[in-house]
Amino acid sequence: MPQAGPILSTRHLLAIEDIDRTQIETLLGLADDYVALNREVAKKRDTLRGRTLINLFFESSTRTQSSFELAGKRLGADVMNMSVGSSSVKKGETLIDTAMTLNAMNPDLLVVRHQDSGAVSLLARKVSCAVINAGDGAHEHPTQALLDALTIRRRIGRIEGLTVAICGDILHSRVARSNIALLQKMGARVRLVAPRTLLPSGADRLGPEIHHRMETGLKDADVVMMLRLQLERMAGSFLPSTREFYKVYGLDSDKLALARPGAFVMHPGPMNRGIEIDSAVADDVERSLIQEQVEMGVAVRMAVLDALSRNLANTRKAMWV
């Protein structure tokens, strides 16, 4: 059964940078329990009964948004989805005004995705509920890193000492930044494999080893984490063509053979098949953890919602009479 008592020392979950290894391990332990729950017929708990969860997505999302929605509902919260298309942001409202408006409706948990780095923490400073970063620009996506960690830990039994190669479009990736932080906190060796045009400058200062070739980057890796090539963010010339990218960096079985025998393949989705990953690898049930990552996503988000709700006050100071 999930352990009782506080888990996180902060009101929000904005970045992996803000939490420590013990907190991560406790969250993963709690998530393990929710994995078991999610596999039962009766998946419903009342942990969040009476609480309101708002999904506020300024960028479109399928898996993250539905994963949070399910996580909230399984814990008994009332869940509302707001996406930019139908909101007053389209009418020119500023981010802070949107936040203040939502805050006045007294939600307890606010899940936010925004295209600008730092926008979620700006919003968090303006509201009285708990805020979860569901991805801000190229900064962080902490629940993705947590679900990746849970997937690895359940499959291999540990994270400490593993070599994880994160490959592809590092430059635009918040998933990469959160994973670099989390995996290193957990004692894994992280490698980044990318052309120089898709590596942010000073990436080596974050701790990982930098490789430009899959041949060296994948050698002896236990886990190969492919990233989506974010073609929609590629204004200007980062790459000559997707066919060249596939030839040099696309993960196919030949390249995967360079990793440790039996190494696992991960991808945060959505995949560009035939660009960063070959279907034969993506669909290999022995090696690919991609579907498992999606399952772990719901459990991890339940754990995060549970943990943050424990820090919520039971009564709320009214903002006005």
Partner 1 sequence: MSRIAFLNARIVDPASNTDELGAVLVQDGRIVDTGPLPFNDPAGGAYDIVDCEGRVLCPGLIDLKVSTGEPGNEHRETIASAGRAAAAGGVTTIVLQPDTDPALDDPALVEYVARARCDVRVRPMAALTHGLKGETMSEMALLADAGAVAFTDGNRTLKNTRVMRRALSYAATFDLVVAVHCEDPYLAEGGAMNEGETATRLGLPGIPAAAEAIIVERDIRLAELTGARLHIAQISTRASLDLIAAAKKRGTKITCAVSAAHLALNELDIGTYLTFRKLSPPLRSDADRQAMLEGVISGTIDAIVSSHDPQAPDTKRQPFAQSAFGGAGLETLLPVALMPFHSGDMNLAQALAKVTSDPARILRFSDGSGTLAKGAPGDLCIFDPGTARTIRREDLLSRSKNTPFEGLSFQGQVWRTYVGGRKVFEAAS
Query: Contact positions toward partner 1, by CB under 8 A?
Result: 195-197, 212, 236-241, 243-244, 247-248
Return the number of the residue (235 or 318) whose C-beta is nearest partner 1.
235
DSSP assignments along 230-248, one per residue: -GGG--S-S-S-HHHHHHH
To partner 1, the closest distance from the beta carbon of 227 in angstroms equals 16
Return the number of the residue (16 or 167) whose C-beta is nearest partner 1.
167
To partner 1, the closest distance from the beta carbon of 281 in angstroms equals 20
* Residue 216: strand, helix, or coil: helix
Return the number of the residue (125 or 243) whose C-beta is nearest partner 1.
243
- Strand (E) or helix (H) holding 261: none
Return the number of the residue (197 or 291) whose C-beta is nearest partner 1.
197
To partner 1, the closest distance from the beta carbon of 205 in angstroms equals 16
Instruction: Record the tokens describing residue 202, joined without a space.
Output: 């000073």
To partner 1, the closest distance from the beta carbon of 213 in angstroms equals 8
* Residue 121: strand, helix, or coil: helix
Return the number of the residue (85 or 236) whose C-beta is nearest partner 1.
236
Return the number of the residue (4 or 235) whose C-beta is nearest partner 1.
235
What's the sign of the alpha-carbon dihedral 269, 275, 279, 285?
Answer: negative
Nearest one of 28, 256, 288 to 143, comparing CA atoms: 28
To partner 1, the closest distance from the beta carbon of 235 in angstroms equals 10
In whole angstroms, give the CA distance from residue 229 to residue 234.
9
Nearest one of 145, 178, 168 to 234, comparing CA atoms: 168
In sequence order, the 6+-apart residues with CB closer than 8 A to the CB of 293 are 147, 148, 151, 266, 267, 268, 269
Return the number of the residue (235 or 313) whose C-beta is nearest partner 1.
235
In whole angstroms, give the CA distance from residue 94 to residue 75.
32
Return the number of the residue (142 or 195) whose C-beta is nearest partner 1.
195
In whole angstroms, give the CA distance from residue 247 to residue 9.
46
To partner 1, the closest distance from the beta carbon of 202 in angstroms equals 12
To partner 1, the closest distance from the beta carbon of 204 in angstroms equals 12
To partner 1, the closest distance from the beta carbon of 282 in angstroms equals 23
Instruction: Record the tokens describing residue 208, joined without a space.
Output: 């990982």
Q: Are 53 and 77 in contact (CB under 8 A)?
A: yes
Give burial (CB, 10 Å; 0-12/13-18/19+) of 49.
exposed
